[in-house]
Structure 1
């Protein structure tokens, strides 16, 4: 069974996604946006959060540290900690991410990898206590991989937290069940600013429809919008 996937982001009314670059809140601080986001994150009750390679690299900050061969690794999966109750999932098709331990913020790390990732990289992940799942096809079937994580690790509710390209690709694939947005009363508006969702030149027109689930006022003038996603009606 595929876990429930909720795309959770904080944004401004102009649709950008870096709170550190937003204009200030009425009381003169920027930190309130992160606090509101963290509370909404906790309220969703997810047992995992998931990001793409670029976002995870900003979080992990670890560099390569190869393990001496020969490398005896298992494919397609290695689960380093089956007792974990919370998880940090990264999508890393090319095997570019590195870690220096098996958890982030207390959440066990699981990496979803492309088929051609070398054994040397898998050996490095395993040595750091990181779990991994390698695609068995040329194109990564993220839906099937998430079903495997549900069956093997019991992951049932994932908060998808960007970046924009990852969010857009999973929405286009029909894998996202809900979009959850904390909208701050602040603006970025820089030319070329990163957005919450992106999907190539064609966008998502004709691929996803949204229906409003709730609109909840938060403190400092922010609101929490929740939308159910569905395939376009005929």
Structure 2
């Protein structure tokens, strides 16, 4: 199977929590973005963004694997949306346009909406996005060879569970979240075994607790 080289890039507190509002307050937050640039992954996968409006579901379903490259670019802002409900602004020649990952259960009406807004999309997977199929299409048809996953624990866990992660880039900020119910770097894995990794490099800095 062809696919891009995929890096999960996250910043966490010392106790492994990734709430954006919390990590944004930690020292080193600016290094998260500078490190992301060094990774040379202009295409990025984020979690589903809560839009101002959501479109109602309904209508005839697609029921097949398909894609449409409405906006040609060297890099994309990729957002998974299995049911196809999020409303988007029209793409107007951006060098970093949206590309929506959705399932075959998406309505044709929603795909017509994306086409009318010049937004590219990939539909793969019966009820939920089949990340393996979607990444193969992204490589073969959109010519994306490297990307960073910068979403939440569930989308990170989905890529890891599908065996698609080649590298993890993790910045640990000097702070403790400590609250229960917060997302971790990887969520949603059902196996009782840990996923083995090979440590590539470490850069460390002293932390002084005042």
TM range (shorter): 0.7 to 0.9
* Residue 130 (1) aligns with residue 119 (2): yes
- TM (norm. structure 1) is 0.76
Q: 2:42 aligns with which of 35, 44, 47?
A: 47
Question: Structure 2 matches for 1:190-229, cutoff 5 A?
Answer: 190-200=179-189, 202-203=190-191, 205-206=193-194, 208-217=195-204
Counterpart of 1:9? 10
SS in 1 for 2:148: strand
Equivalent in the alignment of 2:61 = none
TM-score (norm 2): 0.83
Answer yes or no: is the 8 Å Cα contact 1:17–1:195 preserved in 2.
Answer: yes
Alpha-carbon spacing, 1:90–1:104, altered in 2? closer, same or farther (3 Å)? farther
Cα 1:155–1:32 shift into 2, 3 Å: same
1:161 is matched with which residue: 150, 154, 171?
150
Aligned to 2:71: 81
**Distance in 1 between residues matched to 2:95 and 2:19, nearest whole Å:** 24
| CA apart distance, 1:117 | 0.7
Contact 2:82 2:128 in 1 (8 A): no
Report if aligned partners of 1:47, 1:156 keep a CA contact under 8 Å in 2: no
Q: Provide the C-alpha distance between the structure 1 equivalents of 2:116 and 2:96, rounded to a whole number of angstroms.
A: 17
Once residues 91 and 75 of structure 2 are traced to their aligned partners in structure 1, the CA distance between those partners, rounded to angstroms, is 12
Aligned length: 200
